Amino acid sequence: MSDFQKKFDPKPIKSVLQDIVGQKSLKKGVQNVRICNSWGEIVGENVMKYTDEVRFSHNILYVKIHSAPLKMELNYGIENLKQKLNNHLGLEVIQKIVLI
């Protein structure tokens, strides 16, 4: 058996990608993107038309909405939205949603 074959065991690409994404700094970034993308999946296309920015920091989801009436309407159901997002993600990662 050659030295090359001894040093390297073939691994499925899925396993290699999971190892890379599993690194703490990269995992956090991937999770942030997943959380922000989930906003659009939960609220739908109509609300996304009025959404300018979505960001996640310190377990708080910040959503910039440029329609005051829509912002007020969303505030009434903010806890329900938080619960739907956490259920969608399969984690209790969002502690608060702030509409700005």
CATH number at residue 74: 3.30.300
Count structural domains, the chain: 1
For residue 3, pLDDT over 60 is answered with no
Q: What is the model's pLDDT at position 19?
A: 74
This prediction has a pTM of 0.75
Enclosing domain of residue 60: 11-99
Distances (CA, A) of 97 to 26, 44, 51, 52: 23, 17, 14, 15
What does the pLDDT average to over 51-64? 96
Identify which has the larger pLDDT, 76 or 3.
76
For residue 2, pLDDT over 70 is answered with no
Residue 6 lies in a domain: no
Residue 3 lies in a domain: no
End-to-end CA distance of the chain: 63
What does the pLDDT average to over 23-51? 88
Classify residue 45 as left (phi > 0), alpha (psi -120 to 50) or beta: alpha
What does the pLDDT average to over 58-76? 97
